[in-house]
């Protein structure tokens, strides 16, 4: 019996190698490094600014492979991560980055079948509500956390996706992030449906328009056994316009969302969560905008200026509101094919936060430095 099992295993292994040999396989990688100086003012009167140097491997360093065989395509990709689980949104010192412990994470693992009338994809891939606008590298994902469209801690997630031309429909993992809000005795989450996202892309010679929508709902139940329940429902809407005018380009992204943090949208505000006021569940709403203007001078030099702003508010009787704003300048310098450096200057205004009518200054931060990148394949 053992010999039969061994024989079957050998046959399966040979078959796997034969399948790989008959497929087009493209191995690739990207090594990245962060060297930034951060001056952070927490907004507390009389306190000193916190000044730190960030010198470590970039969180978006990666290694992967693309596969293609007849009507099947796929991707596998890993990337380097910090080991502390610290938020990527805040300008804090993170000396325990990937260069210290070598932590890695799965970015992509998916396969897609082209069945003629459309395509079916299953696995771990980008969600549809991930639409970058700026090329700034410091926040490890453009300016999505400060007015854009994206997910925190890397936007890839499990899903089943259908594509019909320029229209995509995805069914993703529902996120039960209700524990981030003070919901009293409501602690048990019941999931009935997957998260649903829809995206339509319009592409022309000089511009592209992307329209995105998403919906998620789940039920929270009283932990004391009363079976009293509430539904937390999230909606996200977004649009991105990218226009090219000769060597110049202009990008604009707009987003609106209800209970965006419950949806798992990437945000630096703490007012995008549904919250209980008495026995009533109050929703949160947010508006965001990201804009970028760029100019490619030649094959070596490209400059970009970008801006992001976000306003979030909970629908409570007392004011609960939070804002954020950022201004950025970046140069992309191509030293050689696949070798780049990105000098960046960022002013981050954390604005005021209002907690039950009490206004608190959250300070600001100035960040400047260089993001280094070498691609290989």
pTM, 2 dp = 0.86
Burial of 257 (0-12, 13-18, 19+ CB in 10 A): buried
Tokens matching residue 43: 């907004």
Q: Which ranges of 235-330 does DSSP label H, i.e. alpha helix?
A: 260-263
pLDDT tens per residue across span 104-148:
888 899 999 999 999 999 999 999 999 999 999 999 888 999 999
Residue-wise pLDDT tens digits, 262-287:
999 999 988 999 988 877 889 999 99
CB 56 within 8 A of CB 36: no
The sign of the dihedral angle between the CA atoms of 133, 134, 135, 137 is negative
Q: What are phi and psi of 56, to 5 degrees?
A: -165, 175
Domain boundaries 33-376, CATH class:
mainly beta
Select from 275, 234, 276, 274 the least CA-distant residue to 256: 234
Dig out the tokens for 126 from the structure. Answer: 């980008």
Q: Report pLDDT for 177.
A: 67
Within the chain, what is the greatest distance between any pair of CA atoms? 77
Query: Are 286 and 308 within 8 A, CB to CB?
Result: no
> Could you tell me the pLDDT band of residue 225, with boundaries at 50, 70 and 90?
low
- The CA-to-CA distance between both ends of the chain, in Å, stands at 44
Question: What does the pLDDT average to over 156-182?
Answer: 86
pLDDT (0 to 100) of residue 283? 94
């Amino acid at each position: 019996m053992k010999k039969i099992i061994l024989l079957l295993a050998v046959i399966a292994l040979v078959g796997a190698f034969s399948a790989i040999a008959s497929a087009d396989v493209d191995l690739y990688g990207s090594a990245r490094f962060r060297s930034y100086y951060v001056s952070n003012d927490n907004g507390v009167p009389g306190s000193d600014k916190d000044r730190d140097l960030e010198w470590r491997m970039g969180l978006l360093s990666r290694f992967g492979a693309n596969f293609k065989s007849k009507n099947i395509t796929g991707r596998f990709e890993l990337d380097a991560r910090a080991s502390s689980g610290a938020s990527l949104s805040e300008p804090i010192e993170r000396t325990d980055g990937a260069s210290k412990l070598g932590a890695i994470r799965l970015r992509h693992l998916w396969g897609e079948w082209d069945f003629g009338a459309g395509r079916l994809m299953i696995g771990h891939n980008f969600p549809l509500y991930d639409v970058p606008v700026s090329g700034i590298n410091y926040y490890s994902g453009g300016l999505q956390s400060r007015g854009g469209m994206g997910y925190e801690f890397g936007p890839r997630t499990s899903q089943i996706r259908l594509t019909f031309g320029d229209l995509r429909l995805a069914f993703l993992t529902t996120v039960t992030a209700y524990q981030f809000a003070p919901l009293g005795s409501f602690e048990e989450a019941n999931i009935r449906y997957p998260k649903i996202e829809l995206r339509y892309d319009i592409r022309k010679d000089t511009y592209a328009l992307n329209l995105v929508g998403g919906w998620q709902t789940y039920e929270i139940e009283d932990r004391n056994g009363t079976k009293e329940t509430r539904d937390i429902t999230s909606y996200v809407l977004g649009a991105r316009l990218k226009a090219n005018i000769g060597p110049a380009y202009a990008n604009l992204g707009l987003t609106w969302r209800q209970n965006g943090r419950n949806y798992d949208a990437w945000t630096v505000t703490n007012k995008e969560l549904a919250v209980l006021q008495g026995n009533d569940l109050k929703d949160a709403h947010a508006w965001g905008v990201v804009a970028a203007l760029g100019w490619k001078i030649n094959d070596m030099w490209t400059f970009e200026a970008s801006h992001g702003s976000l306003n979030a508010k909970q629908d409570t009787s007392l004011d609960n509101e939070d804002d954020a704003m950022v201004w950025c300048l970046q140069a992309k310098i191509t030293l050689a094919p696949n070798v780049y450096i990105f000098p960046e200057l960022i002013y981050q205004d954390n604005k005021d936060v209002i907690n039950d009518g009490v206004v608190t200054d959250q300070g600001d931060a100035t960040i400047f430095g260089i993001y280094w990148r070498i691609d290989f394949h």
